[in-house]
């Protein structure tokens, strides 16, 4: 069977999403770069890839808004005629004592990190089910597996992504759609900006490979999972984390 070709990467303006969009474009995929607030960074990636003659598009959408997600998927179909692969990567984090989390914090966390996965996945499945092919990768976190102190709402959202992945993999298997979850360890992106050097050193020392991960480490894992080499893998949680969680 021919390779799946067209991929939407949510939250591709920075960090893991940016590295994933960059790698997949260089590997010959048609890539749609989604961003929400970071237009400058998204445009810079888009221009870099386009100037190399690679097949890319860019689309601004807040993935926690149903109507914006629908318009984005319509755009993908209009541009490439299909959407074969969805990478649900967009996310936010927040450190807060559980007793201080407000209703607004909670809703923002769940809507951005979990409801967005529901919206994007439901919308792309409309196209994948009829074709009986497709792959979806959900970016969760080790904290969704083991829980993070002072990040209860983040951990809950990411655990929800793992549960959604497993349930949907069972439901979509007969339609030949593979759905897997990546749970990165500590990865050097802007998401770590709230950590001081001391805290980063402690995280590094607690990682058996003695280093933090790079966005490319996660992009490489995505590349494998979306390829034909991973056709028999579905419903799995794969954790590139340097041995931090074993």
Start-to-end Cα distance in the chain: 35
For CA atoms 208, 212, 214, 219, the dihedral sign is positive
Our answer to whether residue 154 is catalytic in this structure is yes
- Integer Cα distance of 241 and 111 in angstroms: 25
- For ligand NDP, which residue of 6, 7, 13, 221 counts as binding (CB under 6 A)? 13
Nearest to 177 by CA among 185, 169, 165: 169
- For ligand NDP, which residue of 6, 121, 189, 234 counts as binding (CB under 6 A)? 189
Give the interface segment with ligand NDP, choosing from 51-59, 126-134, 180-188, 221-229 (CB under 6 A).
180-188
Binding to ligand NDP by residue 220, rule CB under 6 A?
Answer: no
Binding residues for ligand NDP, total number by CB under 6 A: 30
Q: Compute the least distance from the CB of residue 154 to ligand NDP, in Å.
A: 7
Among left, alpha and beta (phi > 0; psi -120 to 50; other), residue 53 is left
Give the interface segment with ligand NDP, choosing from 24-32, 57-65, 123-131, 231-239 (CB under 6 A).
57-65
Nearest to 61 by CA among 6, 119, 3: 119
Binding to ligand NDP by residue 191, rule CB under 6 A?
Answer: yes
CA gyration radius, the chain: 17
Q: Compute the least distance from the CB of residue 236 to ligand NDP, in Å.
A: 16
Nearer to ligand NDP, 50 or 65 (CB): 65
Site track for ligand NDP across 141-160, x = CB under 6 A? x-------------------
Binding to ligand NDP by residue 112, rule CB under 6 A?
Answer: yes
| 164 and 138 Cβ atoms separated by less than 8 Å | yes
β-bridge pairing 30-35 and 6-9: parallel
Nearer to ligand NDP, 94 or 228 (CB): 94
Binding to ligand NDP by residue 89, rule CB under 6 A?
Answer: yes
- Integer Cα distance of 108 and 160 in angstroms: 15
Binding to ligand NDP by residue 35, rule CB under 6 A?
Answer: yes
- Integer Cα distance of 140 and 159 in angstroms: 7
Nearer to ligand NDP, 128 or 222 (CB): 222
Nearer to ligand NDP, 91 or 134 (CB): 91
**Residue 75, number of CB atoms within 10 A of its CB:** 18
- Integer Cα distance of 182 and 162 in angstroms: 9
Q: Compute the least distance from the CB of residue 1 to ligand NDP, in Å.
A: 30
Active-site residue list: 154
Q: Which residues bind ligand NDP (CB under 6 A)?
A: 10-11, 13-17, 34-38, 62-64, 89-93, 112, 139, 141, 184, 186-187, 189-192
């Amino acid at each position: 069977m021919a390779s799946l070709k067209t991929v939407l990467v949510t939250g591709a303006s920075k960090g893991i999403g940016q590295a994933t969009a960059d790698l997949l474009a260089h590997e010959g995929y048609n890539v749609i770069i989604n961003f929400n607030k970071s237009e400058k960074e998204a445009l810079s990636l888009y221009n870099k890839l386009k100037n190399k003659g690679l097949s890319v598009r860019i689309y601004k959408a807040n993935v926690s808004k149903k109507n914006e997600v629908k318009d984005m998927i319509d755009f993908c179909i209009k541009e490439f005629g299909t959407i074969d692969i969805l990478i649900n990567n967009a996310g936010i984090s927040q450190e807060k004592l559980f007793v201080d989390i407000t209703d607004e914090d909670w809703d923002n966390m769940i809507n951005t990190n979990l409801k967005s996965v529901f919206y994007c996945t439901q919308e792309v499945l409309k196209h994948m089910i009829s074709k009986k092919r497709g792959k979806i990768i959900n970016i969760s976190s080790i904290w969704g597996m083991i829980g993070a102190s002072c990040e209860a709402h983040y951990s809950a959202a990411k655990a929800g992504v793992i549960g959604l992945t497993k349930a949907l993999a069972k439901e979509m298997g007969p339609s030949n759609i593979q759905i897997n979850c990546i749970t990165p360890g500590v990865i050097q992106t802007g998401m770590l900006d709230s950590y001081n050097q001391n805290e980063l050193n402690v995280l590094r020392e607690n990682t058996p490979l003695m280093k933090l991960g790079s966005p490319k480490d996660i992009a490489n894992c995505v590349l494998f999972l979306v390829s034909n080499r991973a056709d028999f893998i579905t419903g799995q949680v794969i954790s590139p984390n340097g041995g931090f969680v074993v």
